[in-house]
Structure 1
C-alpha cells in the first residue's frame, strides 16, 4: 500500500563539477559546429549572390570581388571562435587540473597511511605472537643435560669420548619419565630408544622413519611445543641443538669432565652473566671412573 521512498543517488562535488564541465563542453562544440555550417552556407550564398545574381558586381575594392573580403573576415571570426573553444576556454583549465591533482595526491596519501597503519598493526600482532611464543618456551622449564670436558668437547664420530657410570646413572634418573629432545645423529647413536622416555627427534629429512612412539619434528620450537605437556623436558644433544636451546633453556645439568679431549663436537661456552651456578658435586676418579668430574647445575639468572 505504501510505496518505498526512492533514494536519489548522491553525487559528490567532484563528480558534479565534472558533469557540469562536460555539459559546458558539449554546448561549446555544438555552437562551433553550427557556426561552421553557417559559415559554409553563407560563403556559398555570397559567391552565388555576386557571380550569379550580380549583387555588388561593380564593387571591387583593390581589384578583388567584395565577397572575398567578406568571406575572409568571416573566416577570421570562425578561427577566433575555434581558438576560443579549444585554447582559451579548455574543457579543464590549469587551475582545475591542479586542484584535481592535489585531490588525487591527497587520496593516495590517505591510502598509503591506511596501508601503513595496517602493516603496523600486523607487525605488532606478529611481534606479540613471537614474544608470547618465546615466553612460553622460556617458561617451559626446558633443561639442557650434557657431559662436557674442560675444553667443552662432548663427542667424536657421533660417540661419547668417555664412560662414566655415575654420569649415565644420573642421566637416567633425571630424564626418566620425561620428553628428551635431540638431533637426528644423537638419536641414531642409540642402539634403540631409551626406556621410559618420550623421544623427540629434530631433523630436516623428509619421511624420516623411526620406531613407534618416537616423535619427529623439523625444528626446536616444534620440539618444545610437542613436549609442552611435560613439566621438565630435556635437551640431550647434539652440538647444534645445544647451541639453539641455550636461548630458551631455564636450567643446565652439566657433567664437567676434568680433562681435555680431541673431539669434533663441542658444547657452547656457558655465559656467567646469564647463568648462575646453584649446585656443584665433585667426584674423584676411581676403578669405575677414569677421570675426575663434577655434577654442576646452572639456572638462568
Structure 2
C-alpha cells in the first residue's frame, strides 16, 4: 500500500520503431491480399455480366470482348500493387533504412572523434615523456651502445707509418690475403680518402664510408654516413665490423675498439698518415706470427693480434 510506485516497463525507441514498422508491413500485406480476392471476384463478375447477363455482349475491341481488357487493366493494377509492397516498400522502408544509416554513420564518427582525442592526448604525453627522458638521461657513448666486436685492421711500420699520398707504401702479398680472409663477409668502415684509394669496391664486403660531404656519390650498395657513430650503427647487424682506415678514423676508433689485427712491417718509412701508439696498459698481445722477407716480400713483418684488457 505504501510501497514504491511500480515502474512502468519502458520500450526502447528502436524496438518501438521496429514494432510500428512491422505493424505497418502487416497492413500492407492485408491490403494486398484483399486486393487479390477482390480482383478474383471482380473477374468472375465481369465474365458473368458479359456472358450470362449479356451486358456489353456486342461491344468488342479489335474482335476481343471488352471484359478481357478490363481484366487485363485490373491485373496490371494488382501487379503494380504487388511490386510496391515487395519491391518498392521493403520491410522497413527506404526512409527507415536511410535513417538507420545516418544513425550508424553518426555513431562511427563519434567513435572516431573519441579515438582521435585519445590518440592526441597519448601523443602529447609520449612527447613530454620523450623530452623528459632526453633531458634527464645521459647520452650513451659508442662503447656502451655497440653490441658487436669492433676490430681495427691495419698494416703499420715500426714508426707507425701507414701510407703516403693516399697509397700504401709497401706491397705484401700475404698481408693482402690476410686482410681479405678476415674482412670477407663483414662491414668495413673507412674514411672517404681510403675508399677513393680503391679502384672499385672490394667484393663480398659491405662498405661504410664516413664523409662530411652531403652529396657524396657512391656505387650501389655502399653506405655513406657522416660520423663513426653512424658507421657503427649502420654495421649493427654485423658481429665483427672492421675499421680499415685512414689515420683519423683509426684515431677515433682506437678508444672504443675491442680488437686490433696489426701487420707490423719491420722497417721505418716516410709517410703522411700514421697509426696511433698502442698503449700496452690498455692492449694485450694475444697472437704474434713472424714472416721473414722473401722473393715475394721485400720486408720482414709480423701478424699481431691485440685485445682490450
Q: TM-score range by the shorter chain?
A: 0.5 to 0.7
C-alpha separation between the residues in 1 aligned to 2:279 and 2:135?
A: 32
The 3-state SS of whatever aligns with 1:232 is: coil
Q: Does 1:241 align with 2:281?
A: no
The 3-state SS of whatever aligns with 1:199 is: strand
- Counterpart of 1:66 in structure 2 is none
Unaligned 5+ segments in structure 1 are 1-118
- Counterpart of 2:87 in structure 1 is none
Q: CA deviation at 1:123?
A: 5.1
The 3-state SS of whatever aligns with 1:256 is: strand
C-alpha separation between the residues in 2 aligned to 1:287 and 1:277?
A: 29
Select 2:143's aligned residue among 134, 138, 144. 134
- Counterpart of 1:300 in structure 2 is 308
**Any residues of structure 2 matched to 1:14-163 within 5 Å, and which?**
124-125=136-137, 127=138, 129-131=139-141, 133-137=142-146, 139-163=147-171
Q: CA deviation at 1:203?
A: 0.1
Unaligned 5+ segments in structure 2 are 1-130
C-alpha separation between the residues in 1 aligned to 2:134 and 2:245?
A: 36
Q: CA deviation at 1:247?
A: 1.5
- Counterpart of 2:31 in structure 1 is none
Q: Does 1:208 align with 2:216?
A: yes
The 3-state SS of whatever aligns with 1:206 is: coil
C-alpha separation between the residues in 1 aligned to 2:207 and 2:167?
A: 18
C-alpha separation between the residues in 2 aligned to 1:244 and 1:162?
A: 25
Q: CA deviation at 1:124?
A: 3.9
Question: TM-score, normalized by length of structure 1?
Answer: 0.58
Q: Does 1:183 align with 2:161?
A: no
Question: TM-score, normalized by length of structure 2?
Answer: 0.56
Alignment size in residue pairs? 179
The 3-state SS of whatever aligns with 1:130 is: coil
- Counterpart of 2:201 in structure 1 is 193
Superposition RMSD in Å:
1.5
Select 2:279's aligned residue among 271, 276, 283. 271
- Counterpart of 1:81 in structure 2 is none
Cα deviation digits, residues 230-277 of structure 1 (max 9, x gap): 010000000000000011110000000000000000000001111000
C-alpha separation between the residues in 2 aligned to 1:195 and 1:264?
A: 28
- Counterpart of 2:234 in structure 1 is 226
C-alpha separation between the residues in 2 aligned to 1:288 and 1:295?
A: 16
C-alpha separation between the residues in 2 aligned to 1:183 and 1:268?
A: 16
C-alpha separation between the residues in 2 aligned to 1:178 and 1:240?
A: 21
- Counterpart of 2:48 in structure 1 is none
1:284–1:190 distance in 2 versus 1, CA, 3 Å: same
